[in-house]
A and B are shown apart, each in its own frame.
Chain A
Amino acid sequence: MIPDLGKYTDTVLWSYAASIGLLAALIVFSVMRGRKTRAEMEKIEQRMSRNG
């Protein structure tokens, strides 16, 4: 399934693993922080509207 990368198999696969891992981590952390911040803001806005 994986093409024959010859003697550079480790070189190529490590490059892909490191890059895709870093990109995935960036997306996951961004989305997690975004959701947390949005939920926190909505909670505070609701609390403030209840308290007038």
Chain B
Amino acid sequence: MSIAAKANALWEYANPRKFLATSERVMPFFWVTSITCIVVGLVWGFFFTPDDFRQGSTVKIIYLHVPAALMAINCWLMMLATSLVWLVRRHHVSALAARAAAPVGVVMTLIALITGAIWGQPMWGTWWEWDPRLTSFLILFLFYLGYIALWEAIEDSDTAADLTSVLCLVGSVFALLSRYAVNFWNQGLHQGASVMRAAAVTGADTEEKVSNVYFFPLLVCIIGFVFLFIALVLYRTGTEIRARRIKALLARERVSG
């Protein structure tokens, strides 16, 4: 199959029935894998890794803080992609997928903010600092809340999808900023990237990188969070599709008397 044919085949999932049938088939795999990876990663990290020579046992917070922060940003980018599909191709499933992902993103952002504050207190001596990364993450959290509120506030679902898609485009600046803020402004308390830096792995730079003792259980946790995100978004999109169908059926019932 050519790439163009494969890309066209992807649009089949814009059909709600096709989407529901496929997602229900693959969802058990994502649920089981995600829960397994999260449990294994957390048990491994919590019970079988040593304390850090500087941060002590607080290093164990990394197994929740980093995957949650990663998913908080990537969830918004996924919402951006599906919002663009809605704006360009008007596929309802893509708008509903963005809507379904927002509460997942808000919880991931909240976990990143809470664990960051709890971790920051003993390490930095403060729960909060108006540091570029922390501030952009807080703004991202507020954008998530605004996005969810906008969906709830507008009766007509197509108008809501249009306006939330525009909001999503604007919020993407903060999603990217929260990832790269430490690179733009060389100030603040939050450290730069130290987990996934190709140059550190290959030895091209000599900056500190997270030791492999912590990296491997962290990688398992990250995979678990990614799969949990996929499972939740598939499940919640199914719910949104059914909620939309309920609205349509009730409207049809009212018209027919």
**Contacts from A to B (Cβ < 8 Å):** 3-9, 11-12, 14-16, 18-19, 22-23, 25-27, 30-31, 33-34, 37-38, 40-41, 44-45, 48
Contact = CB atoms under 8 A, between A and B. Distances in A.
A4 B121 CA distance: 20
Contact of B61 (A12, A27, A48): A12
A6 B242 CA distance: 50
Contacts of B64: 15-16, 19
Contact of B58 (A11, A38, A44): A11
Residue among A5, A6, A15 having the largest count of chain B Cβ atoms under 10 Å: A15
Contact of B253 (A5, A26, A48): A48
B107 A22 contact: yes
Q: Is the interface of A mostly helix, strand, loop or mixed?
A: helix
B61 A34 contact: no
B235 A34 contact: yes
A31 B246 CA distance: 18
B156 to A, nearest CB: 20
Interface in B212-248: 228, 232, 235-236, 238-239, 242-243, 245-246
Contacts of B61: 11-12, 15
Given A8-B56, A18-B115, A22-B107, A45 B239 contact: no
Contact of B118 (A9, A15, A27, A41): A15
Nearest to B252: A48
Interface in B92-119: 103-104, 107, 110-111, 114-115, 118-119
Residue among B47, B239, B245 having the largest count of chain A Cβ atoms under 10 Å: B239
Contacts of A3: 46-47, 57
Contacts of A25: 107
Nearest to A5: B57
B70 to A, nearest CB: 14
B51 A30 contact: no
A26 B144 CA distance: 15
Nearest to A39: B242
B250 interface: yes
Interface in B168-185: none
